[in-house]
Homo-oligomer: A and B are copies of this chain.
Amino acid sequence: MDEFDIETLAEPELSDPVLVEGLPGVGHVGKLVAEHLLEELDGEPVRRVYSEHFPPQVDIDEGRAKLASAELHAVEADGRDLLVLTGDHQAQDAAGHYRLTDRFLDIAAEFDVERVFALGGVPTGELIDEYDVIGAATGDESIEELEAAGVEFREGEPAGGIVGVSGLLLGLAERRDLPAACLMGETSGYLVDPKSARAVLEILEDIVGFEVDFDSLEERADEMEEVVQKIQQMEGGQAATDDDLRYIG
């Protein structure tokens, strides 16, 4: 295997596609959105990316070993073509984040992607009621458009910038003159958060122009709600254990 090993799974013609990234991160918000799109919409995997910058491991699914990877799926959403990037891993080292993101953008270029949306969560440190979506973008036009759609732009937020593939998709897309925006759902940061994912997805629908059913995301949100209630009932109100999160997430 080389530093990167990119498998071609399909070569569909896409019309003005939009790249939607949802890799693991705070509250698994981006990943929940990406997975929901893959569940609800018609599409097919087009590329699988293996890399020595991913953790050195296989994931096990019903006994089947799968080498750590990220996948890009072509998905049709009410006539809009999406290229949805998701997976179970982030890069393991700083240079790896740069190089991996660059490969994702190479693939996006092969499909003539015209705009990039990086999805994620921004931790608030407390359980929240109203799920605002914070934004960042590579150009002022984007900022205005996102603000009109209800995205919040707050001075000094997110503090510390945006780290990992989501952040670099903006930074490296701009170097390629490709418009990119990041939509970050507010989330406690302690739990897998389908409600935050829904808030992000609603913004994405509005801007890109499509609609999906929210039922399965709602179900997940209800399950999480029960977990939260159980946690609050417990004396001391301790955070959910990893097992709880893993089960629901």
Q: Which residues of B contact A162 (CB under 8 A)?
A: 57-58, 60, 65
B63 near A136 with CB under 8 A, answer yes
Minimum CB–CB distance for A59 against chain B, Å: 4
Q: How many interface residues does A have (CB within 8 Å)? A: 59
Give 1 or 0 for each of A51-70: 1 = CB within 8 Å of chain B CB.
01111111110111111100
Contact at A174–B94, with CB atoms within 8 Å? no
Contact of A172 among B55, B67, B164 (CB under 8 A): B67
A140 at the interface (CB under 8 A from B): yes
Mark A211-249 against chain B: 1 for CB-CB distance below 8 A, else 0.
Answer: 000000000000000000000000000000000001000
Report yes or no: B136 in contact with A171, Cβ–Cβ below 8 A: no
Whether a CB of chain B sits under 8 angstroms from the CB of A209 is no
Bound CA span A58–B139, Å: 14
Within the complex, which residue of B50, B54, B67, B171 is in contact with A58, where a contact is CB–CB below 8 Å? B171
A112 on the B face (CB < 8 A): no
CB contact list, A29-76 vs B, under 8 A: 50, 52-60, 62-68
Task: Please give, as numbers and ranges, the residues of chain B lying within 8 Å of A170 by CB-CB distance.
Answer: 58, 65, 67
List, in ascending order, chain B residues with CB within 8 A of A167's CB.
56-58, 65
| Interface flag for A135 (CB, 8 Å) | yes
**Bound Cα distance A152, B25 (Å):** 32
Instruction: Identify 18 residue pairs between A and B in the complex whose beta-carbon atoms are under 8 Å apart, listed by A's number.
Output: A50-B175, A52-B99, A55-B94, A56-B91, A56-B167, A56-B168, A57-B162, A57-B167, A57-B168, A58-B136, A58-B171, A60-B136, A63-B143, A64-B138, A65-B174, A66-B171, A67-B172, A68-B161
Known interface pairs A56-B94, A57-B163; 14 further A-B residue pairs with C-beta atoms within 8 A, sorted by A's residue number: A5-B175, A52-B99, A53-B95, A56-B97, A57-B162, A58-B136, A58-B162, A58-B167, A58-B171, A59-B161, A63-B143, A65-B182, A66-B171, A67-B171
